[in-house]
Amino acid sequence: MHVPHATTRDADLAPVVRRMEALGPLTSDLKRRLIEFGPRSERVTPGAVLYYEREPQMRPRFILTGWAARQRILADGRRQIFSLLLPGDGVGVSLRPGAAAETTVVALTPMVVMDAGVLPGQGAQDACFDYGDAMQTAARLDESRLLDQILRLGRQTAYERTAHLILEVHERLDFIGRAQAGQFEWPISQDTLADILGLSAVHTNRTLQRLRQERLVALRAGRIQILDMARLSAIAEYRPAGSATADPYPCRR
């Protein structure tokens, strides 16, 4: 499941560093960790669990490659995905360490993740280090996306919801330089997409067909292309997380 010591080629630090530096100044502590741990990445296969909910110890990691999902499953099997975790995102990286995970994190695709936290000989508590303003901003974006998810599920139609999610993923991938002219990787099955959007798989399929038919997106071979950004944004009533900038009021401690 976890294969240690992926090749250095896999350990592409670009998304993490790029994302973090764009979000705000990094502390030297985090920089040091990135350099020190960057090469020590591990592979994770699809379906593997990175964290179980209620598991107290959270080894902080960063995603170098691949997608994951935070989810919970009801007794009768209904699954809800709370949010997607994309390259450059932290997993189990909390400003409130020791927070029981609350959610299970599952790999949706093959991944390469970087262990960013516990130096040899350190305990769980020590995983709490100062991440700097970049991490503050990242946490804020996280919460903002949870709010978007609530709005989608509570008050948007399947059509609007799907458009909205596509735009969110585009914005996030574009931010780390992984989208070109509205085109980007889209490695998730319609089954998984349904569990994000709170829909059935069948209806998800039909909704995607409608988006294609109306020439809003093109979708094939694990990639998606946004064909009409303006119209898509209008349908979804999408507001970019413009707050993706550095913290205007950094917290002095």
Partner DNA sequence: CGGCATGTTGATGCTGATCAAGTTCTGTGG
Partner DNA sequence: CCACAGAACTTGATCAGCATCAACATGCCG
Which of residues 131 and 184 has its CB atom nearest to DNA in the complex?
A: 184
Q: How far apart are the first and last CA of the chain?
A: 41
Contact with a second copy (CB under 8 A) among 34, 95, 227, 229: 95
Answer yes or no whether residue 244 interacts with a second copy by CB under 8 A: no
Answer yes or no whether residue 119 interacts with a second copy by CB under 8 A: no
Contact with a second copy (CB under 8 A) among 27, 80, 200, 233: 80
Provide, rounded to whole angstroms, the least separation between the CB of residue 78 and DNA. 8
Residues that bind DNA in the complex, under the rule CB under 7 A: 157-159, 189-191, 198-206, 208-209, 221-222
Could you give the CA distance from residue 113 to residue 60 in angstroms, rounded to a whole number? 10
By a kind-dependent CB cut-off of 5 to 8 A, residue 9 interacts, out of a second copy, DNA, none, with none
Contact with a second copy (CB under 8 A) among 1, 3, 14, 100: 100
Contact with a second copy (CB under 8 A) among 4, 121, 143, 220: 143
- Draw the binding track, 196-225, toward a second copy (x: CB under 8 A; -: no contact): -xx---------------------------
Answer yes or no whether residue 4 interacts with a second copy by CB under 8 A: no
Could you give the CA distance from residue 223 to residue 44 in angstroms, rounded to a whole number? 21
Contact with a second copy (CB under 8 A) among 1, 3, 14, 99: 99
Footprint of a second copy (CB under 8 A): 56, 72, 74-75, 78-80, 82, 95-100, 102-103, 124-125, 128, 130, 136, 139-140, 143-144, 146-147, 149-151, 153-156, 197-198, 237, 243, 247-253
